[in-house]
Amino acid sequence: MMDTPAGLAIKPLSPLCGAEIVGVDLSQELPQQTIGAIQRAWNQYVVLIFRGQELSEEAQLRFASYFGELGKRKKPPDELKKRVTGTEQFTPEVMLVSNKRVDGEPVGAFGDGEMWFHIDSGYAESPYAYTFLYGVELPSWGGNTRFANTVAAYEELPQKVKDKLKGKKALHIHEYERRQRVPLRDDISGSPHWFHPVLIEHPKSGRTALFVDRLMTRRIEGVSLEESEELLAFLYDHVEQERFVFEHEWSLGDVVMWDNLATIHGRTYFPETETRLLRRCTVEGSPLKMAG
Ligand SMILES: [Fe+2]
């Protein structure tokens, strides 16, 4: 790889998705050359892992800010606020993905058990461009994060499906569930939602990515409901095939960063009786462009 700083090594972890970066201490300010090498590896592997990091919240935010403007937690509608207002989420740019409770109150959000594949804030007008997670507390087993490469998945779609999806938009609805399809109601004004192109042009690479996920994408516009259901079921099964997926088994001190517009991600089950806490921050994105 061109212009890779001394000491930095890139180890691919699966053929289509995921690489480990060795030889970088994220608690320190990084020179431009190192940031450039990480960005290039990121463009190629879409998910990067750094192990054994000791990272304060400030250092995590500084690292993320090398890649764009930091994202803020989305504001939920008032009636749903309780589900995501963690008692220890003090910084607007930080979310604690956790099942941990102190005095009965959740310290973070979205923390229990399995979670279906999704796109972070895929229901918003401008979904996050990037997400960064840092492993703070982990259960003895489970709670792995699974990623699927949505650019590779698009490329391997049958041509007639590509043709069918061209120019289409789909409705993404957020109802704060983790493993349940959102019911399709006539009035969705109470739930955050947005219509996005099913095929997006990735803002950095210009490549086409499939932009749907099992958890929040509910309806493809411009086809019958029956056809929409059939297409979505096909797309979910297609993109979640093992050959597009990389599964990360967490260790304390891991930093995992991913391209939220070139992947979907989900979480495997872990025991409710154990604590899992990951510190999340993001980089803001822009309204999505339909692939040409
Ligand atoms: Fe997520």
| pLDDT tens series, the chain, 292 aa | 456 888 899 999 998 999 999 999 999 999 999 999 999 999 999 999 999 999 999 999 999 999 999 999 988 777 667 666 788 888 999 999 999 999 999 999 888 889 999 999 999 999 999 999 999 999 999 999 999 999 999 999 999 999 999 999 999 999 877 888 888 877 888 889 999 999 999 999 999 999 999 999 999 999 999 999 999 999 999 999 999 999 999 999 999 999 999 999 999 999 999 999 999 999 999 999 999 8
Please give the distance, rounded to the nearest whole angstrom, from the Cα atom of residue 70 to the centre of ligand 1: 16
Strand order from edge to edge, sheet including 208-210: 208-210, 199-201, 289-290
| Distance in Å, CA 11 to ligand 1 centroid | 24
The two structure tokens encoding residue 150: 């949505």
The phi, psi pair for 150, rounded to 5°, reads: -85, -15
Task: Report the separation in Å between the CA atom of 260 and the middle of ligand 1, taken as the mean of its atom positions.
Answer: 9
3-state secondary structure 126-152: CCCCEEEEEEEECCCCCCCEEEEEHHH
Whole-number Å distance between alpha carbons of 49 and 64: 14
Q: How far is Cα 247 from Cα 242, in angstroms, rounded to an integer? A: 9
Model pTM score: 0.95
From ligand 1's centre to the CA of 143, what distance in Å? Answer: 12
**Distance between Cα 223 and ligand 1 center (Å):** 29
Q: Which helix (H) or strand (E) holds 101?
A: strand 101-102
Do 199 and 211 touch, CB atoms closer than 8 A? yes
Q: Say if residues 279 and 136 touch (Cβ distance below 8 Å).
A: yes
> How many angstroms is it from 267 CA to the middle of ligand 1?
8
CA of 153 to the centre of ligand 1 (A): 19
All residues at 6 or more sequence positions from 138 whose CB lies less than 8 Å from its CB, including other chains: 250, 251, 252, 276, 277
Å from CA of 8 to ligand 1 middle: 28
Q: What is the pLDDT of residue 3?
A: 65
pLDDT for 82: 66
How far away, in angstroms, is 4 Cα from ligand 1 center? 30
pLDDT at 2: 56
Q: How far is the CA of 257 from the centre of ligand 1 (A)?
A: 11
What is the CATH T-level fold of the domain 10-285, as seen in this structure? Answer: Double-stranded beta-helix (3.60.130)
Please report, for the chain, the start and end positions of each structural domain, with discontinuous segments joined by +.
Answer: 10-285
Token representation of residue 84: 């995501």
The CA-atom distances, in angstroms, between 86 and each of 94, 98, 135 are 11, 9, 17
pLDDT at 205: 93
pLDDT in the model for residue 62: 98
> Separation of 242 CA from ligand 1 center, angstroms?
19
**Alpha-helical runs (H) found in the chain:** 32-45, 57-65, 150-155, 159-165, 225-239
Report the separation in Å between the CA atom of 134 and the middle of ligand 1, taken as the mean of its atom positions. Answer: 13
**6 CA to centre of ligand 1 in angstroms:** 33
For residue 146, the CA-to-ligand 1 centroid distance in Å is 10
Task: Tell me, in angstroms, the distance from the centre of ligand 1 to residue 135's CA.
Answer: 14
